[in-house]
Amino acid sequence: MHRFVTIPTEGMDTPTAYRLVCGAVAPRPVAWITTLGADGRVNAAPFSSYNYVAHSPPMLAVNIASRLGELKDTARNIRASGRFVVNVATQATMEAMHLSAADYPPDVSEVEALGIELLPGVAGPVPRIAASPIHMECRLDQFITLGRGLNTLYIGEVLAFHVAESIYDGQHIDTVAMQPIARLGGPYYAALGEIFHRPALQRPPGEGPGAIPAKKP
Ligand SMILES: Cc1cc2nc3c(=O)[nH]c(=O)nc-3n(C[C@H](O)[C@H](O)[C@H](O)COP(=O)(O)O)c2cc1C
């Protein structure tokens, strides 16, 4: 049986709340997001307050905090252009992904500074990170400012998935071969550990007889 420490959040300072929520919600996948600035510069930065939030159509959400009261470059670019690409961060891309989180000024492209190789966007103008095995080209659906205004949730609809052939059989993504990297609380990352298999107890949505078909837009 665990013995618990109870920590009410009323009056809690922001750094403590950050440490607790990041430690409690772990591991988190890392969205390595590319955007285009108004000057045409490609911006890249990692975000782990991120997940998928819908699958009809597929939608992703990422929380971008403000920095000293100002929008981060990624947030500014998403608002201005309505487009972003989520590149999945992996073990192979961890070092470059991590370095791209440094506080580069808006007129410096992390991509140029770190020599990150790009591929052109297909569904939109934002380039994709070549070394990442999955790119999801997104159109901004809506953004919602949360709580006291420090955090904003950006929700994007995926317009196109690009999946490396080496991790895709045409039906399923091979997560083990993808080697995703996860963010933990504090300055730590983790790779996949042991994998457990259990048979699915429900049909995936939209599959098989009697399933509710997805509504047409
Ligand atoms: C692994 C990792 C995850 C991060 N997750 C977030 C996040 O979810 N939200 C956020 O606002 N910043 C997050 N950051 C910090 C941003 O990456 C950092 O502020 C970056 O400089 C923003 O770049 P930009 O100004 O080019 O958008 C994270 C950093 C790292 C290394």
- Per residue in 92-146, pLDDT (tens digit) is 999 999 999 998 887 888 899 999 999 999 999 999 999 999 999 999 999 999 9
| Whether residue 149 has pLDDT greater than 80 | yes
Residue of 160, 195, 190 lying closest to 30 (CA atoms): 190
Give the mean pLDDT of the chain: 94
Task: Check residue 213 and give its pLDDT.
Answer: 61
The answer to the question of residue 107 being in a domain is yes
**99 CB within 6 A, ligand 1:** no
Atom 18 in ligand 1: which residue has the minimum CA distance? 101
pTM for the model: 0.94
Distance CA 152, CA 146 (A): 6
The answer to the question of residue 92 being in a domain is yes
Q: Ligand 1: distance of its center to the CA of 215 in Å?
A: 35
The answer to the question of residue 125 being in a domain is yes
The answer to the question of residue 64 being in a domain is yes
The answer to the question of residue 126 being in a domain is yes
Give the mutation target among 25, 32, 39, 47 for probing the ligand 1 site: most ligand atoms within 8 A of CB. Answer: 47
| Whether residue 217 has pLDDT greater than 60 | no
**83 CB within 6 A, ligand 1:** no
**72 CB within 6 A, ligand 1:** yes
The pLDDT tens digits of the residues spanning 7-57 come to 999 999 999 999 999 999 999 999 999 999 999 999 999 999 999 999 999
The pLDDT tens digits of the residues spanning 54-69 come to 999 999 999 999 999 9
Q: Three-class SS string for 198-216?
A: CCCCCCCCCCCCCCCCCCC
**49 CB within 6 A, ligand 1:** yes
189-190 sheet: strands from edge to edge:
28-29, 182-183, 189-190
The answer to the question of residue 154 being in a domain is yes
106: buried, middle or exposed (CB in 10 Å: 19+, 13-18, 0-12)? middle
Q: What is the CATH number of the domain that holds 92?
A: 2.30.110.10
Atom 14 in ligand 1: which residue has the minimum CA distance? 47
Q: Ligand 1: distance of its center to the CA of 26 in Å?
A: 16
The answer to the question of residue 4 being in a domain is no
Distance CA 35, CA 41 (A): 8
Atom of ligand 1 minimally distant from the CA of 72: 25
Structurally, the chain folds into a number of domains equal to: 1
The answer to the question of residue 59 being in a domain is yes
Task: Check residue 211 and give its pLDDT.
Answer: 61
The pLDDT tens digits of the residues spanning 150-160 come to 999 999 999 99
Domain encompassing residue 183 = 27-190
**35 CB within 6 A, ligand 1:** no
Provide CB contacts within 8 A for 31, sequence distance 6+.
46, 47, 48, 50, 60, 62, 86, 87, 88, 89
